[in-house]
Structure 1
Amino acid sequence: MQYEVKALSPENEIIALVVDAQDEAGARAQVEAQGLYPTRLAPVRTFRRASGSHGRISVVLFSQELLALLMAGLSIVEGLEALLEREGGARLRGILERLLGGLREGKRFSNLLSGQPDVFPPLYVGIVRASEGTSDLPRALQRYVDYQARIDMVRNKLVSAAIYPSILLVVGGGVSAFLIAFVVPRFAAVYEGTGHPLPWMSQVLLDWGKFAAAHGLPLFVGALCVVIVAGMAARAAITKIGFATLLGRVPLLGPHLRIYQLSRLYLTLGMLLDGGIPIIAAMETAGGTLTPAMRERMIRACAAVQSGQSLSAAFQAQELTTPISLRMLRVGERSGEMCAMLTQSAAFYDGEISRWIDRFTRMFEPLLMSAIGIVVGTIVVLLYMPIFDLAESLS
């Protein structure tokens, strides 16, 4: 593991460096051996889920590359050596070197992965550990890649559905702000010279426009402060209860977020069981992918299964099923095809979520466009109403 270190030199200068050590104590010892006094040590997070940044790749991309090399006939050591020769990033090279060093010492690959929890999640370690019993690492890697692709498909669809409304809100808000802060004050200057009484709503709009033009900077700073405070409050709430839990409290999103969580649970559990992991260990690992509230239910369901209860009955008691998935679980228990039933249940949930996203976007986007059009149109009409009144009086 790598650590970012800030240390004080004998010349009383602050020095920033990165050291490679097994734990924080080892990193501190390395720094002190150089005659420096460490003031701050923090582990470096090397892999991210996004795979577009320089020197960093996702675990999925790492698995895909290693899988391709293994399928080509290379051993795992040769595959990691090939990845190391190609890699130019210092952080990833450090990870690969530690994996290679451990394998050459005779350590198990899963133990080496679990020694870097900031890089490889427990789910990934679990399926690799299960594959070591069957000597089928390529299938385990392929299973994880397929699993992550299913998860990312739903997530990407949610993100794509949110992009267009976000653009509409930004553009609509920008046009409205431009009209009020720039166009309305100029119309107000023209109408003031006529001496003609203005409609009440037009007068209110013009007064707001003049106020915005006269106090533009304080209003901008105030709006920026409101955004910052709201962002900090949202971040504190996310840190305290989690982003998924926060979204789950939204009336329209709560039930569908529960379906998404159930889909992820069933897909994860099916993949782990298919990889040969025992049911209790699979349930404990799958529980780590859920929100805190559903994780507590999963823990109770796991305890019920340990006491001899069936999986379907335990899930039903903890409200971790829907009527359709409950029947599919019972069929899987009778037929012995629990992995297939879990995977099919997850696919059914994914289809339900996709249909809801499509319906929601078809309904929400026109409504949002209509609302923005009404706001902008109202501003324009109120600006021109005095001109219409003046034309009528002249005629």
Structure 2
Amino acid sequence: MPKFRYVAKDIGGKTVTGEIMAGGQTDVVNKLQMQNMIPMSITEISMQKSGGGFQAINDKITMLTTKVSLADKVFFTNQMVTFLNAGVTLTKSIKNIADSQKNVVVKAVLNQLYDDINAGSDFSQALAKHPKIFDQMYVNIVKAGEASGNLDKALKSLAGYMEKSAALQGAIKSAMMYPKFVLIFTCVIVFVILWKIIPVFEGLFSSMGGELPGPTQLLVDGSGVIQEHFFLLLASFAGIFYGIKYAFKFKKVRDFWDNFIINAPIFGELVRQIIVSRVSSVLALLLGSGTSMLESIEISSKVSNNSVYEAALKKAAVDVSTGVELSVSFKKTNRFDDVFIQLLETGEETGKIDDLMKKIAEYYDAEVAMKVKGFSSLMEPLLIVFMGAVVGSIVVAIYLPIFTMGETLQ
């Protein structure tokens, strides 16, 4: 369990510093709140970096290269809830958080929020000026909280949603870590064999005379290409990587990929369920905050992060605007399964669509968690077999001329 250093204010307003063991920054916030302390700054000790004479230059570089992570937004939102619940004013809360920030990007954004609100803007209006950090969903939830006078509750619901999203992202990244490691390790082994080992055997093959078996000749040719054109190959791979990255800027390429990934064998269903879970969670959050149905569907289409589902949800929104029932509109898209539609119909019958959307999100969260675990269990033995097959094939190809020569001598 990591250790964190914190700066907080106690119930009397006195600044308190200390160190605490916790599962994460959110856990630190909860533990400090239980001690009637308001966190001002929380830093994981192992992640601290010493300052220096070039700090100003480093800050400028960071401003250009650092993105605000989901964890940063979760922490900011949780801190806002803590301050507002403690009776601290909105502007003072933002200023306190900004002053304690180590991340120069977050600090700059929060200072801008503080200035905009002091100049007369609403909190939601100030947030809307930073769409790359605070998306339309975040802004709408805050706007609804301002209108109802329950900004702290709105922010708390946002923090809960983002924490759940972060947990899901973490589970998926953890599941993909092992396959990535095996694939990279396999590529490294193949490269080392072709770069260092095959040239050693090449002299032996030449002394044998005769024609080499096809698999062995392929290895020798591959090794020769790497030896003679290493930098050209490196440049080619880099060009292919950046070429693919650039291609995704075109809508047709993104549409093709988005359609492929939701229909792909093995993991296509998992991707669809992740999207449905995300859409359901956002709809529940927006509808629960008082956002209109049409606007909620429109915003949820953007958080789907898939052009196929985005188009489907926009089509559903058009149908709803003409008076078609929500469940019928979603069913017509052919992108939502029977479980989703049946639960949605139940929500329409009871008049509690936002509550049913929460249940739908919970159902798909559980399905995703189960499938991610199953995917990991399935991939581990398959990848080991794959790595063994690749390395084993190369070893056999290396020794094939020796075996062939032995048979000839007999």
Q: Which moved more, 1:121-130 or 1:329-338?
A: 329-338
Contact kept, 8 Å, 1:77 with 1:103, in 2: the verdict is yes
CA gap of 1:382–1:276, structure 2 versus 1, over 3 A, is: same
Contact kept, 8 Å, 1:185 with 1:209, in 2: the verdict is no
Contact kept, 8 Å, 2:280 with 2:361, in 1: the verdict is yes
Q: Which residue of 2 aligns with 1:366?
A: 381
Listed as ranges, the matches of 1:1-395 within 5 Å are 48-49=68-69, 58-87=72-101, 91-193=105-207, 200-201=213-214, 204-205=215-216, 207-241=217-251, 246-250=257-261, 251-252=264-265, 253-290=267-304, 291-388=306-403
Q: Counterpart amino acid of 1:124?
A: Y
Cα distance in 1, alignment partners of residues 230 and 142 from structure 2:
53
Q: Which sections of structure 1, spanning at least 5 residues, go unmatched? A: 1-16, 18-42, 52-57
Cα distance in 2, alignment partners of residues 97 and 335 from structure 1:
45
Instruction: Give the drift of 1:259.
Output: 2.4
Deviations 1:31-67 (A, max 9, x none): xxxxxxxxxxxx979752255xxxxxx3222112212
Instruction: Give the drift of 1:266.
Output: 1.0
Instruction: Give the drift of 1:162.
Output: 1.8
How many residues in Structure 1 have an aligned counterpart in Structure 2? 344
Instruction: Give the drift of 1:366.
Output: 1.6
Contact kept, 8 Å, 2:213 with 2:401, in 1: the verdict is no
Cα distance in 1, alignment partners of residues 312 and 258 from structure 2:
19
Q: What SS is found at the alignment partner of 2:88?
A: coil
Deviations 1:182-219 (A, max 9, x none): 22232232344456x67735xx51x4454455443444
Q: Counterpart amino acid of 2:184?
A: V
Q: Which sections of structure 2, spanning at least 5 residues, go unmatched? A: 1-56, 58-62
Cα distance in 2, alignment partners of residues 186 and 75 from structure 1:
73
Indicate the percent of aligned positions where both proteins have the same amino acid. Answer: 22
Contact kept, 8 Å, 2:172 with 2:372, in 1: the verdict is yes
Instruction: Give the drift of 1:336.
Output: 2.0
- Show structure 1 runs of 4+ deviating over 4 A: 43-47, 88-91, 212-215, 242-245, 385-395
TM-score (ref. length: structure 2): 0.75
Instruction: Give the drift of 1:126.
Output: 0.2
Deviations 1:267-316 (A, max 9, x none): 10001111121212212221221322322222221122222222111111
Cα distance in 1, alignment partners of residues 208 and 111 from structure 2:
80
Contact kept, 8 Å, 1:325 with 1:345, in 2: the verdict is yes
Q: What SS is found at the alignment partner of 1:249?
A: helix
TM-score (ref. length: structure 1): 0.77
Q: Which residue of 1 aligns with 2:20?
A: none
CA gap of 1:297–1:213, structure 2 versus 1, over 3 A, is: closer
Contact kept, 8 Å, 2:74 with 2:162, in 1: the verdict is yes
Q: What SS is found at the alignment partner of 2:184?
A: helix
Instruction: Give the drift of 1:391.
Output: 6.0
Q: Counterpart amino acid of 2:248?
A: I
Whichever of the two has the greater Rg, that structure is 1
Q: What SS is found at the alignment partner of 2:249?
A: helix
